[in-house]
Amino acid sequence: MADTIVVPEAPVADADAGRALREVGRSMPRLESTAKVDGSVEYIHNLRLPGMLYGRIHRSSIAHGRIVRIDASAALACDGVHAVITADDVATIVPNPYYGPAFHDQPILALGKVRHVGEPVAVVLATDPHVAEEAADLVSVEYEPFDAVFDEVAAAAPGAPIIHDELKPAGMFTDLEHVAGRRGTNVALDARLRTGDIEKGFAQADQVFEHTFRTGKVIHATFEPMVSVAEPAGPGGLTIHTASQSPSFVRSEIARLLGWPENRVRVRTAFLGGGFGAKLYIKLEAMAAVCALLVRKPVRIALTMDEQFYTITKHGATVLIRTGVTNDGRITARQVETYWNGGAYADIGPRVTQKSGFTAAGPYDIEHVALDNYAVYTNDPPAGALRGFGISQLVWAYERQADIIARALGIDPLEFRRRNALRNGRKHATGTVVYGMEVEAVLDRLAEKMEWHRPFDRGSGTIRRGRGIAIGVKACVSPTTSTAAVHVYGDGSCAVHTSTVDMGQASDTTLAQIAAEVLGLPTPDVRIVHPDTDVTPYDMATLGSRSTFHMGNAVRRAAEDVRAQLLRIAAGALGVDMGDLECRDGAVLSRAGAKLTFREVMLARFAMQAGTIVGVGSYTPSYTKPDPRTGYSPNITPFWMLGGAGAEVEVDCETGRVTVTKLVNVADVGRAINPASVERQLCPACSICRAS
């Protein structure tokens, strides 16, 4: 069986009205359900524009080396090939063609050298996708190969082949500034955290455990493969239709590359056929944009499933973890050194390194902690975020070691975790006091669902059985901003403008529930306008479990702004006090029983069925940048996320077959806006490995 349990909070009333919630907290089907079952749902994958050219990428066949010569003549000779674009062509419109959210290190097309197998070297543009594919194979590139390095520990060691001459942080994230200009290293970022006195902590320990854990790369394999379609928009503009989790970032990065103001770049998305962190920041957009501007035609660049493997992966990591414990099972000190295999381009890797790295001691209360995280360039494809932003690599290490220590001390693994649990009101190693993090509640629920205290049948003969539990903690990424707008139209209908991208997590429905709650509307009556940077306000990105909280609060504020405007107009029209009015059932109701529908409110304001009322809301939680020497910050995150899992497995000792016979997920989610969709978000990790 697989089971996902959400640890509930007590039922809450809406703080400002003191009334029960109607839309928020209710499980409801996705707003776009019908479109997803009748085939009509919009993905950028489906987009075909008149006169559009199909781009196909010629990719590097070596991991590291200098480009000596590119010969495109055979490709250009193919019937139907319109152009072959290389770095030289890119340079005519983007003189400094390096992009990336953390570092400006990734060229739009390989410039001078290649740094991983599969790196884009040239793009063939053709009227037919099959012609483009065949011609891309005909591009011939001569390389002078260099030594390559693939292992993250080897790449960080002295004497390793150097992948980038100089570190070039992008400047957007202030916590990366200190590495600017460093040369002769593959370590893109060293992020450290020091609390207490690590040597003293080890001296207090009865035993010290030291282990190395490694995790491999994982590929997102989104079923809608990455796709971007760019088209020139008039003489000075550009429109990019893209399957992206971060349309606002794409706009600013493309504008920066082109040296244009952001208002000349329009980026729009549709539903995504999966994201999981793969479609973050900037992927194919710059390439499609440059191609479209060079040939002055719409250009579609879409990857095949296998090309996605060259584009982004989850980080492989090597985690060295040293833990001091007393004989009664208290952790006195923990030192963790993590090498993150970032691949050839930083992408968001340094942020993954920093943002997850500071949680490497786990959800435990430890007085002496020393953490070192290294984002390392290697000659693998770039690494970024995948469902958890770097957390699972660390959880694997600290929770494996927790079991090893518990066994060595003869303490029940659940009890060992309980003894060290980080409780609310205590300081996390960063110096931030934790709240809203129910470690014990999660452990209790795990124990109950796993029937932990019942005797467990360990099997016999060739079939052996085992069970285990693990918990992990993540801090929501900070600092970030979301902005939303809520519009009420002349007929009283309502639309939410948001740049949050629905990639399957049901954000459209969740955000509609929040707006509906504030405005007293049924959720299905709220329309969500999909990200279009000409229309929808800024959002940092759909990533890191931040959208419901950040965009949810922005939408709430925007809806409250609209509600205040509607009530003010209605108060004037009805001659009553605003405080006597509320929004309910699609209308403004007075305490005395008078009622104005939203349409009537609009009529009262504009004297005809016309006009728009717009409410705007923004949300940026406070944040204190950590001290780069100690990693210390009294305010490192707006909230913590805590999860746990338990599994029972059966191993056939003859064949090696492992069967998961039971899997339980427990999460402390706070108040679930749409409980069923929260469970559906948590369940996949569980059901992927579910036994048949």
Partner 1 sequence: MSARHERAVAFTLNGRRVGATVATHETILEVLQREFGLFGARESCGQGLCGCCTLLVNGTAVSGCLYFAAFADGAELTTVEGLAKNGELHPIQRAFVEKSGFQCGFCTPGFILMTKELLSRHPQPTEDEIRHYLSGNLCRCAAYPDIIAAVKRAAELMRA
Tell me whether residue 378 or residue 507 sits nearer to partner 1 (CB atom).
507
Number of residues forming the site for ligand FES (CB under 6 A) = 3
Please state the closest distance from residue 220 (CB atom) to ligand FES, in A: 11
Q: Are strands 53-59 and 237-242 parallel, antiparallel or unpaired?
A: unpaired
Tell me whether residue 348 or residue 503 sits nearer to partner 1 (CB atom).
503
Task: Name the one residue in this structure whose structure tokens are 């320990």.
Answer: 205
Tell me whether residue 225 or residue 431 sits nearer to partner 1 (CB atom).
225
Q: Give the ranges where 489-637 is alpha helix by DSSP (H).
A: 507-519, 547-574, 598-606
Positions that interact with partner 1 (CB under 8 A): 2, 29-30, 32-41, 43, 45-46, 48, 78-80, 128, 130-131, 134, 220-225, 271-276, 304-305, 503-506, 676-677, 680, 683-685, 687-688, 690, 692
Tell me whether residue 269 or residue 393 sits nearer to ligand FES (CB atom).
269
Report DSSP letters for 287-335, one per residue: HHHHHHHHHTS-EEEE--HHHHTTT-EEPEEEEEEEEEE-TTS-EEEEE
- What does the alpha-carbon distance between residue 518 and residue 514 come to, in Å, rounded to a whole number? 7
Tell me whether residue 239 or residue 507 sits nearer to ligand FES (CB atom).
507
202 binds, among ligand FES, partner 1, none (CB under 5 to 8 A by kind): none
CA distance to 146, 189, 315, 326, 371, per residue, from 329 (Å): 50, 34, 32, 5, 21
Please state the closest distance from residue 345 (CB atom) to ligand FES, in A: 27
Please state the closest distance from residue 26 (CB atom) to partner 1, in A: 14
Which residues partner with 162 through β-bridges? none
Q: What are the phi and psi torsion angles at 257 (to 5°)?
A: -60, -40
Tell me whether residue 128 or residue 532 sits nearer to partner 1 (CB atom).
128
Per CB under 6 A, does 456 bind ligand FES?
no
Please state the closest distance from residue 504 (CB atom) to ligand FES, in A: 5
Please state the closest distance from residue 298 (CB atom) to partner 1, in A: 16
The binder of ligand FES chosen from 274, 468, 479, 621 (CB under 6 A): 274
- The CA-based angle 478-481-482, given to 5 degrees, is 130
675 binds, among partner 1, ligand FES, none (CB under 5 to 8 A by kind): none
Tell me whether residue 4 or residue 432 sits nearer to partner 1 (CB atom).
4
Tell me whether residue 223 or residue 456 sits nearer to ligand FES (CB atom).
223
543 binds, among ligand FES, partner 1, none (CB under 5 to 8 A by kind): none
Tell me whether residue 29 or residue 621 sits nearer to partner 1 (CB atom).
29
Report DSSP letters for 323-383, one per residue: EEE-TTS-EEEEEEEEEEEEESS-TTHHHHHHHHHTTTT-SB--SEEEEEEEEEE-SSPPE
Q: Are strands 331-343 and 368-377 parallel, antiparallel or unpaired?
A: parallel
Q: Kindly write out the interface string for residues 155-184 of this chain, putting x where it contacts ligand FES by CB under 6 A and - elsewhere.
A: ------------------------------
Per CB under 6 A, does 225 bind ligand FES?
no
80 binds, among partner 1, ligand FES, none (CB under 5 to 8 A by kind): partner 1
Report DSSP letters for 632-663, one per residue: --S---S-EEEEEEEEEEEEETTT--EEEEEE
Please state the closest distance from residue 191 (CB atom) to partner 1, in A: 31
Task: Name the one residue in this structure whose structure tokens are 């990734």.
Answer: 106
The binder of ligand FES chosen from 77, 96, 206, 223 (CB under 6 A): 223
Please state the closest distance from residue 268 (CB atom) to partner 1, in A: 17
Tokens of 302: 């879409």
Is residue 175 within 8 A of residue 625, CB to CB? The reply is: yes
Report the b/e string of 470-487 with b at 16+ CB within 10 A.
Answer: bbbbbbbbbbbbbbbbbb
Is residue 27 within 8 A of residue 674, CB to CB? The reply is: yes
The binder of ligand FES chosen from 107, 343, 504, 520 (CB under 6 A): 504
Is residue 2 within 8 A of residue 648, CB to CB? The reply is: no
Binding residues for ligand FES, rule: CB under 6 A, are 223, 274, 504
